Amino acid sequence: MAVDFSTLVYIDATGYHYPDYPTVQNWLISQYQGIYGADVYLEPDSQDGQFLAILSKAMYDCAALGASTYNSFPPLSAQGAGLSRVVKINGVSRQLPSFSTATLTIGGTAGTIITNGVAVDTLNQQWLLPGVVTIPDGGTIDVVATAAIVGAVTADSNTINSIFTPTRGWQTVNNSSAATPGAPVESDAALRIRQEQSVANPSLTVFEGTIGAVENVTGVTKVQGYENDTESTDGNGVPAHSICVVVAGGSNSDIAQAIQIHKTPGCGTYGDQTVMVYDSKGMPINIHFQRAVTATVHVQITMSTGVGWSDDYLVQIQDAVAAMVNSGEIGEPILLTKLFAPAYLNGVPPLTAYDIATIELAKNGGSYAASNLSLDFDENPVCDPTTDVTIIIT
């Protein structure tokens, strides 16, 4: 049977086109009837009907595979491994997940050697100490511990306070500041954004190009840039004719190198981190940038339930609100009005399921207020759905 499948699947100036499965099946039935007559019985309970259904499914799957292959070339529609390959043309690679870190104060008997020690927080999350830690004469030492699980593991200050691997002479452990969350595997959406930024970098201003370059550094999760082109120090402490790049994640050396390559000659840099890099002539240059400070954002939602309410909504609301907070940029305020949509799960539950009376915000354990939450220029909003989003049902 001669089948001209090109009438159904084709590529033109607008892209790749293919029909749905019923259209393929109906077209194949019409071709079959053209050979054996319109009165041939092809219902699903017939042998010929089942045979045509198998052929239709195979033809449709082939057409869909062609569409997937065609769409894997442009970054806008490529997915997964295909997108990872495509963006390499622009010198961009998918960012791998990283581990959260926390500075722990270890206390105990002077001279105690802790080998492969593990601390645990109030949520039973494990934090791995460096391979060998020796408590000095002073009885305490600060070390950087790494979360046992990759990804954005969070821990508020003073919550990593238990010893998981008892060691004689090791008596106390605590984190005086919140942990720095790691990064999950970069999503397709985030990778597409970075690819667009990499392409646009040459056409942007030098300052925007510098920010885009830092955003593409491996391990960097958020970046905020401030430029002071005035003759005096600005309100954030940035000196005259200088830039301040605030960064979460990534290695100091890679970030400093990206800033040095892209900033204009003679432009000063500002921040609490100082890294010496070398220009193309081998001359040493000190690059300064600011490390983002974790601002733990607490959300308190007061609501009443109604017809259609399910306790399953509690976790969904916590996750949605925390995700909105965590998507906020460094230094930008958390707007109260933007939290109502995720708190209502974007309209998915019935309108009668629950009614939100108030949403209140607090920062770093401060007092709640039903108003926008301001962040310092270097603060990165972090919200854990389990511990930082409280729902009160009245």
259 and 222 inside one domain: yes
Mean pLDDT for 165-187 is: 89
Mean pLDDT for 100-120 is: 95
286 and 325 inside one domain: no
Query: Does 87 fall in a domain?
Result: no
Query: Does 11 fall in a domain?
Result: yes
Query: Does 89 fall in a domain?
Result: no
Q: Quick check: pTM over 0.75?
A: no
pLDDT band at 303 (very low <50, low <70, confident <90, very high): very high
Task: For residue 228, give the amino acid letter.
Answer: N
52 and 139 inside one domain: no
Residue 350, domain extent: 294-393
* Chain position carrying tokens 């319109």: 38
DSSP one-letter code for 63: H
Give residue-wise pLDDT tens across range 11-52: 888 888 999 999 999 999 988 998 899 899 999 899 999 999
Last residue of a domain, one of 291, 314, 342: 291
CA 270, CA 254: separation in Å to the nearest integer? 16
Mean pLDDT for 251-268 is: 91
247 and 337 inside one domain: no
Task: Please tell me the least confidently modeled range out of 195-209, 213-227, 363-377.
Answer: 195-209
47 and 134 inside one domain: no
- Does the pLDDT at position 200 exceed 70? no
287 and 298 inside one domain: no
280 and 322 inside one domain: no
Q: What is the mean pLDDT of the chain?
A: 90
More confident of the two residues 76 and 139: 139
263 and 304 inside one domain: no
Q: Are 316 and 342 in contact (CB under 8 A)?
A: no
CA 107, CA 315: separation in Å to the nearest integer? 37
Query: Does 81 fall in a domain?
Result: no
pLDDT band at 170 (very low <50, low <70, confident <90, very high): very high
Query: Does 112 fall in a domain?
Result: yes
267 and 208 inside one domain: yes
CA distances from residue 309 to 236, 346, 348, 349, 350 in whole angstroms, order as listed: 46, 15, 12, 8, 8
Give residue-wise pLDDT tens across range 312-368: 999 999 999 999 999 999 999 999 999 999 999 988 898 899 999 999 999 998 999
Query: Does 86 fall in a domain?
Result: no
Mean pLDDT for 156-185 is: 91
- Does the pLDDT at position 1 exceed 50? no
Last residue of a domain, one of 259, 291, 323: 291
Task: For residue 233, give the amino acid letter.
Answer: T
- Does the pLDDT at position 165 exceed 60? yes
- Does the pLDDT at position 62 exceed 80? yes
Half-sphere exposure of 146 (CA within 13 A, CB side): 10
Number of domains the chain contains: 4
